[in-house]
Structure 1
């Protein structure tokens, strides 16, 4: 439950991003400025946490507190760090693709396309483990898909603003997000989550800076309002989710992570209504409730079965 909650919290953080990005675009900031400031803030926060933990003497770089500093230094080479930096690239790519899709298609359609990662994650996990998804997982995916269609507002709005370029960006962001979930659990799992997260963010930031040189560091964009927006994007997009995923994903697996990640959609819809004052129909709210039900369904069923076994044993 603890690790599932951490992954769920990471997904909720991701749900906040679309509202902040829409606000940033409304103020005239570019894709490079938005994503670059997000990852730079996440980079600073992640390494600040690493330095704080070292200063407090809580940790020497390994998930095993009994490991000596010398052993840790020899165990985690630059090869391990490079692997983590490469594993962090899908985080940056997801942000670039998803944020770019918002320029061409409505938020509801962009979110719907991003949320194709739910079945992609289950598919990747099934192929990796060479077994078919069980009945519970399939029912959950059906519930999530139905709720996603309603919550995204496709039935209300139709496809009048359908744009193939935006669709391709949105669908590609789902693929990238699925790869991020996979790599979060596989890349150097024996390293401390804070250290893993810091190196992954570093890799993502360097990748973005290669594509979009950080000109905002030398012009007045930061002082004109980009700093608070980039700070919020960095906290909720680049720092907290990778850290929470680095802790939780290795414990619960990619399949359940993909399902819990669907919590991002209800958060995005609710914030669009409350903060951006976008119209959300009753069908969309029904979809939000359905998605929440889909997220909670596996755990509720597990608890019901566990309670039934305890009653049987007690009897």
Structure 2
């Protein structure tokens, strides 16, 4: 596959996360708690992944590889737990802005670990994305924002763990089949979530049956697809560009709120959506130019050689 194919796969992984907030709100309105919704999401997502693994060609994975992948799933589970904690004391719009700080954290990881300095286009892209997220979150023109230090800490922690998860998706288990890798990541996340939110509701069949309809959708788009898509795309594009592409989450979340929940979305929020998509395009234009220049230089060197 070409590099833009992998970029598109990661972009779609971000879009999957954008679907979640709408169905979480629907589950809450149906009377289900944070514990039931979060636990249901990771439980059904992990089950879907392992069921599909059973129908794929088996590959032996060492005990060391298995342990690394399970541990890499920890920040995946913590992101959901931290984010839902922040929502308990923060406005949803402000909470997602804090989560969105993962965009620059991912670039910082790339700088510290791989010594890759962000180029001018990437810095411009990050700036556009952050401004767009503030507008799309509606915290400037809609007002009514209350800030709590507890919620802020949880929100920033969710950004840190999400950036960590994206980084690990591209660097751990590169030789492991994406579906099997996703299964181990999801299992690690499930264990953490069950430790934070004890699954007492599993003993109550009516509750389990009721939350299943939401858990299946949340598990599909929040637990099964993102790790799978990131496992396929991230190793080929790197964590810096990867975190930028996952910003597709917010435009989808705003669109779903308007289309499914019928929420009123003002011009400023749509302007934020446009800015976020523009920021993603800026980052990819840079990648395309770099790739074109590499091909051009290679052709020139071959011409001179002959």
User: Is this a same-fold pair by TM over 0.5?
Assistant: yes
Which residue number in structure 2 is paired with residue 257 of structure 1? Answer: 242
In the alignment, which of 173, 180, 196 is matched to residue 195 of structure 1? Answer: 180
In the alignment, which of 202, 207, 232 is matched to residue 221 of structure 1? Answer: 207
Matched, 1:38 2:41: yes
Which residue number in structure 2 is paired with residue 78 of structure 1? Answer: 63
Does structure 1 conserve the Cα–Cα contact (< 8 Å) formed by 2:91 and 2:145?
A: no
Which residue number in structure 1 is paired with residue 31 of structure 2? Answer: 28
- Helix, strand or coil at the partner of 1:151: helix
Matched, 1:104 2:107: no
Q: Distance in 2 between matches of 1:303 and 1:79?
A: 37
Q: 1:210 deviation in Å?
A: 2.2
Does structure 1 conserve the Cα–Cα contact (< 8 Å) formed by 2:136 and 2:251?
A: yes
Stretches of structure 1 that go unaligned for 5 or more consecutive residues are 55-59, 62-72
Q: Distance in 2 between matches of 1:252 and 1:302?
A: 9
Q: Distance in 2 between matches of 1:195 and 1:13?
A: 19
Which residue number in structure 1 is paired with residue 272 of structure 2? Answer: 287
- Give structure 1 regions of 4+ aligned residues with deviation exceeding 3 angstroms: 301-314
Which residue number in structure 2 is paired with residue 89 of structure 1? Answer: 74
Q: Distance in 2 between matches of 1:216 and 1:290?
A: 42
Q: 1:302 deviation in Å?
A: 4.2
Q: 1:195 to 1:21 in 2, by over 3 A?
A: same
Which residue number in structure 2 is paired with residue 50 of structure 1? Answer: 53
Q: Distance in 1 between matches of 2:189 and 2:293?
A: 46
- Helix, strand or coil at the partner of 2:140: helix
Q: Distance in 2 between matches of 1:233 and 1:310?
A: 42
Q: Distance in 1 between matches of 2:287 and 2:107?
A: 18
- Helix, strand or coil at the partner of 1:195: helix
Q: 1:159 deviation in Å?
A: 5.6
- Helix, strand or coil at the partner of 2:56: helix
Compare 298-307 and 32-41 and name the one that shifted more: 298-307
Which residue number in structure 2 is paired with residue 57 of structure 1? Answer: none
User: How many residue pairs are counted as aligned between the two chains?
Assistant: 295
Q: 1:171 deviation in Å?
A: 1.5
Q: Distance in 2 between matches of 1:88 and 1:214?
A: 19
Name the TM-score, length of structure 1 as normaliser.
0.88
Q: Distance in 2 between matches of 1:78 and 1:310?
A: 41
Q: Distance in 2 between matches of 1:309 and 1:9?
A: 27
Which residue number in structure 2 is paired with residue 208 of structure 1? Answer: 193
Which residue number in structure 1 is paired with residue 304 of structure 2? Answer: none
Q: Distance in 2 between matches of 1:111 and 1:273?
A: 17
In the alignment, which of 14, 19, 44 is matched to residue 16 of structure 1? Answer: 19
Stretches of structure 2 that go unaligned for 5 or more consecutive residues are 301-306
Does structure 2 conserve the Cα–Cα contact (< 8 Å) formed by 1:31 and 1:96?
A: no
Q: Distance in 1 between matches of 2:69 and 2:134?
A: 35
Matched, 1:3 2:6: yes
Which residue number in structure 1 is paired with residue 162 of structure 2? Answer: 177
Which residue number in structure 2 is paired with residue 65 of structure 1? Answer: none
Q: Distance in 1 between matches of 2:201 and 2:104?
A: 37
Which residue number in structure 1 is paired with residue 149 of structure 2? Answer: 164
Does structure 2 conserve the Cα–Cα contact (< 8 Å) formed by 1:90 and 1:204?
A: yes
- Helix, strand or coil at the partner of 2:55: helix
Q: Distance in 2 between matches of 1:307 and 1:200?
A: 35
